[in-house]
Structures are given as C-alpha cells and as structure tokens.
Amino acid sequence: MNDDKFFLTYNQQMRKLRNDKKITCQGSSDKKILVRAGYFNLVNGYKNPFVSGTDANGNHTYITNTSINQLQAVKKFDDQLRSFLLRYITQIEEETRTLTGYKFDECNNNGDIPWYDINAYSPNVSLQTKMNVICNAYKDLNNSKLDYVKFYMDHHKQIPTWIMVKVVNFSTFIDIVAASPTDVSHSLCHLYGLEDTNGHPNVKLLIGSLHWMRKIRNSCAHNERVYCLSRAQDRYGHSGRILEKYFGMLSRGYSRDLNQKIFDLLVYFKYYLPKSEYKQFINELKSMLTNLQSKIHPHAFEYVRAQMGIRNISDLDVLLRLPKDEIDYNKFDK
C-alpha cells in the first residue's frame, strides 16, 4: 500500500513535507496553516507552481526554499480570485437575465405570447430544441425553493417571463437566449458591442462568453481551483478560445493559443462592464497579482500567470487601453 494512503498526524505530515518534499514546514505557525487548510487542499492543490522536476524515482522535486507559507500564498490568491471573479460574473449574469426577459417579451407582442409557447421562440430553431428549453425551464422552476416562485405557482395561472428568466439555471438561461427570437440575441450583442469586424452581431461570442462565465462561476461556487481553469478546443473546433477583435489587438501569442483560460474572461468583461467598472476590475486584479508576486518564488509566479493565460502582466494595461464604446443602456428598447 502506498505510504500516502496511510493516516498521518499533523506532525507526521510536517515531517513528510520537510524530509520527502524538502518543503519548509516547522513550528506552530506552519502547523496552524496545515491544520486549517488540510494537506490535500493545500499541498496537492497548490504544489504545481513550485515543482521544478522529478527525481530518479519519478517523484516531484521542488524549487529550493519552497515553504508551506508560499503554498498558502497561492491558495489565498486563488481564494481571493474566486470571490473576486464571482462578484463580477453574478453581476453580469443578473444584468443579462434582466435584459433578456425584457426583450423576450417585447419581441412576443409585449408578452402576449408566453414563454412556454413554442411560438415565442425563433422559427430557425428546431421544435425539439424549443421543447427542451421549455421543459428545462419548467423543471428549474419546479425545483426552486424561492418564496416568490411558490407564491406565483399557488396564486397565479402562469409564471411571468421575468421570474422564469431570473430563476432558471444559468445553462438553461443560455439555451433560452440561443433559442429566442433573433432580436433578443442581436439586441444584447449590439448593446455590449459583441460584433464582428463588419458590425454584425456576434452571437457565437455572446453564447460562448456566457458559457465560459457559467463554467467559472460553477467552479467558484464549488470552491474549486480557478486560476488554472482551462478548456481546450476539441477536434470539431468547439469550446476553445473565441478569437474576437480584442485578441487580434494583443500580441500574436494570444491568437495562437486556442485554449480558453481566465484571461478569456478578462476579455469578455471588456464588453460587459462599463469603462469605469472595467478599469476598477483590472486595477484590483493587478493589485492581487502584485501582492502574490511579492510572496512567492519568481518561477512559481510565472507559472500562475501562465496558467491564467496572461502572457505578460503589462497586457492587462494594454487590454484596458484598447478602444471600447460606452454601454448605452438607454437605447436598449429602441
């Protein structure tokens, strides 16, 4: 049986780190870190930035002078990044849900055609797809424990669109956007500047960006590592990086790498956030990165930066300076 499978006391875990992995871990303050975080969460979760190679037995070796404090610094950064990104994703999610519900009813005779009628959706979408969307929306509503959903179910004949759009799962909401009348997705694209080089609505970017937000939001909500999240392009060209206009304005390396990473989210936020909010977002992220950089080995920091998909920290300033039209919410209903 592998030694890693045996129960180890905290003191034995500390000796294992010192003797087997050459990671500094001694004294009551280091033990406290191990007790509070847990060996698996801290070491197995955040050792990769500090791996320098393997020994003759195939075991990882670590950067000289790596300490448990440095592993904790990466974990704290990831914890902070998780709550930081979640705050902005949920803000954008709430806004796009609200706008979609409004435009959906507007496109359906100001709500005369209800959301559970297949005629409320695009004629270009298959009947099966429409039925799946409606069924999933009903399922999400039925599973909801929210008081106002129960109130409408008990006292009204139907659930209004604005409640349905607010309550359904993020994935169901994205399917609703994709199946809605064309004016719904096109209005969102024009509002946020999600357009191709010819000024046409880039619906692929709209749906793809929302899906990547959903993926990251779910990872944040389940307390998973987020700094290293990545989604590769499959053999059919799906689920990879969406090469929109901003990637074309950055260094060529961004266009060559087809994997979606945290950096893709930073690009999507450029569309969805007003200029002042985006500036605040980038400045906060830079501050978090600078703080991490001061606490860990340079090679470990470069690993974290690369895993996030950021080729150079200065690219954050470049992204911030790239031209962007201000979002004009007052024109959404025109």
Reading the chain (334 residues) residue by residue, the pLDDT tens digits are 455 568 899 999 999 999 989 999 999 999 999 999 999 999 999 999 999 998 888 888 999 999 999 999 999 999 999 999 999 999 999 999 999 999 999 999 998 999 999 999 999 999 999 999 999 999 999 999 889 888 888 888 789 999 999 999 999 999 999 999 999 999 999 999 999 888 899 999 999 999 999 999 999 999 999 999 999 877 666 668 898 999 989 998 898 888 999 999 999 999 999 999 999 999 999 999 999 999 999 999 999 999 999 999 999 999 999 999 999 999 887 6
Which pLDDT belongs to residue 2?
A: 53
The answer to whether 300 and 70 are in contact (CB under 8 A) is: yes
The sign one gets for the Cα dihedral 259, 256, 190, 124 is negative
| pTM summary value | 0.93
Contacts of 21 (CB under 8 A, 6+ apart): 43, 47, 60, 62
**129 contacts: CB under 8 Å, gap ≥ 6:** 175, 179
Q: Is 9 helix (H, G, I), strand (E, B) or coil?
A: coil
Nearest to 242 by CA among 260, 262, 269, 217: 260
Query: CA 49 to CA 228: how far, in whole Å?
Result: 10
Give residue 95's identity as a one-letter amino acid code.
Answer: E
DSSP assignment, residue 247? H
Q: What integer pLDDT is reported at residue 133 of this predicted model?
A: 98
Q: Sort 264 into a burial class: Cβ within 10 Å, 0-12 / 13-18 / 19+.
A: buried
Q: Given this model, what pLDDT does residue 1 score?
A: 44
How far is 256 from 321, CA to CA, in rounded Å? Answer: 22
Give the span between the Cα atoms of 105 and 117, in whole angstroms. 12
Predicted confidence at residue 235, as pLDDT, reads 64
Among positive and negative, which fits the CA dihedral 307, 309, 315, 320? negative
Res 331: pLDDT = 86
pLDDT at position 232: 86
pLDDT of residue 157: 78
Asked if residue 52 lies in contact with residue 13, where contact means CB atoms within 8 angstroms, the answer is no
Dig out the tokens for 123 from the structure. 């004629």
Q: What is the pLDDT of residue 13?
A: 93
Strand partners, 70: none
Are 246 and 322 in contact by the 8 Å Cβ rule? The answer is yes
Q: Please list the residues that pair with 54 across neighbouring strands.
A: 60
